[in-house]
Amino acid sequence: MKYSFPDGFRLGATGAGWQMEGEADKRPDQKHFPHLMWENDRDAWFEGVGPEVASDFYRRFRTDIPLFRQAGIRQYRFNIDWSRFLDDYEAVTVNERAARYYSDVIDCLLENGIEPALCLEHWELPAALYEKYDGYASRRVQDLYVAYAQEAFRRYGDRVHTWFAFNEPMVIPELCFLNGAWWPHEKNPRRAYAWIHGKVLCTARAARACREILPDARFGAILNSPYIVPRDANNPDDAAAARIADDFFWRPFTDTAVLGRYPENFLRILTDEGLLFDYRDEDARLIAENTVDVLGMNYYQPMRVKAKETPWDESRPFHPSKFYDDYDMPGKRMNPYRGWEIFPKSLYDIGMRIKTEYGNLPWIVSESGMGVQNEARFKGPDGVVQDDYRIDFIAEHLAWLSKAVAEGSNCQGYWLFASLDNCSPYNAFKNRYGLVEVDRAQNLARRLKKSAAWYRAASDANCFEFKEI
């Protein structure tokens, strides 16, 4: 069956700053938060590998970007590493060498016919601002983030017309401070929600600054959408459990960014728990007055929940799972390497939800992808990774997305994670995501995978063949 997208819909890819750039030309005092995670938890990172070299995109972008073009990437979302971009985070003095690098990447993308979209942060909060002020919980750091954003708008706004505040602003507060999975392994909900509110305020303030400096640009938020699915939508207890998970994991950033307000239930529960952050009248006004023009939704897997069956231990620090249990659906399709469910229909559901609940705002699938371990075993005699599983994964996601678009959802693009194989938090180079291989046994040599040719054909034609969904 043939699936197609309207004119103007673009296939693209995402490149995460620190996960690809590497740390060449950075001073030791220019560390970012993921570097701290690695430095303090090295044994837990796959083979001890961290962000130091990553894919070495910093030194190789001039030869990488033409490969992206060959892979059919028409739009490219990447980000500035705040910790690299400035020499002095408090005085907001720009490191001219870093500024030139980002400018050169933008030019190189444009020369290759690829439209750049810039994100201001993919977790690269400068370590110095984490250590001195506790990061986004601090109003001082929020000021410094906005000052940094203004500098970026002034430098690159002549060539970059789509901007985003953060990549997945929920992930660091959730994994580092709420459930303790990542360094510093805290279960400290007060800190987690203070960070979340700080990032909500930064998003609104950066949107306002972007409009002042670049009135013709569009400004957006990139959110992780663990699309929440109840065990049984017809069971009121399961549905109620899913609503609470939604209030805590989907809606805090989506509602503030698009509707200009927090979900009531989220504020009420935090208040009842004695965990409401420093929430001022002027904050509510700021959020209401500075919503975004575009949403980026990163989607990997659904979050399945059911009504609470296990007793909640009141001596534990608060976690939203006080009100729901995770649901392990029998027979679910898995990506065994990453341990994530594969459920492409969510892209249709996300599209219809944005249409009905969020005013049909323009949106983009800003990440979707499949990480696979030991891809070298799939190499053919010519050395090319025969990643048919990735082609099927992309096609099935695109098929569901095209159904949403056909039913009126205003989705304008699909950006694969990722252009290049790169360094994941903790999993480092274990699972490979790229259309372009990075061969670590061969001095990081690059080679297009089979999926790159498929992506190129789909991108050029804006349509593709796949089985009926």
Catalytic residues: 168, 367
Is there binding between residue 412 and ligand BGP (CB under 6 A)?
no
Q: Mark residues 331-360: x for contact with ligand BGP by CB under 6 A, - for none.
A: -------x----------------------
In angstroms, give the least distance from the CB of 185 to ligand BGP.
Answer: 17
In angstroms, give the least distance from the CB of 257 to ligand BGP.
Answer: 17
Is there binding between residue 95 and ligand BGP (CB under 6 A)?
no
Stretch that binds ligand BGP, among 62-70, 280-288, 326-334, 425-433 (CB under 6 A): 425-433
Q: Is 258 exposed, middle or buried (0-12, 13-18, 19+ CB in 10 A)?
A: buried
Q: Pick the binder of ligand BGP from 147, 427, 466, 469 (CB under 6 A).
A: 427
Is there binding between residue 417 and ligand BGP (CB under 6 A)?
yes
Q: Pick the binder of ligand BGP from 19, 83, 179, 410 (CB under 6 A).
A: 19
Q: Mark residues 132-171: x for contact with ligand BGP by CB under 6 A, - for none.
A: -----------------------------------xx--x
Is there binding between residue 371 and ligand BGP (CB under 6 A)?
yes
Determine the Cα–Cα distance for residues 28 and 80; give it in Å rounded to an integer. Answer: 18
In angstroms, give the least distance from the CB of 445 to ligand BGP.
Answer: 22
Q: Pick the binder of ligand BGP from 30, 95, 291, 298 (CB under 6 A).
A: 298
Stretch that binds ligand BGP, among 227-235, 289-297, 400-408, 420-428 (CB under 6 A): 420-428
- Which residues sit opposite 115 in a β-bridge? 75
Determine the Cα–Cα distance for residues 38 and 357; give it in Å rounded to an integer. Answer: 39
Nearer to ligand BGP, 269 or 292 (CB): 292
Determine the Cα–Cα distance for residues 46 and 49; give it in Å rounded to an integer. Answer: 6
Stretch that binds ligand BGP, among 28-36, 280-288, 328-336, 424-432 (CB under 6 A): 424-432
> Where does this chain bind ligand BGP (CB under 6 A)?
16, 19, 167-168, 171, 224, 298, 338, 367, 371, 417, 424-425, 427, 431
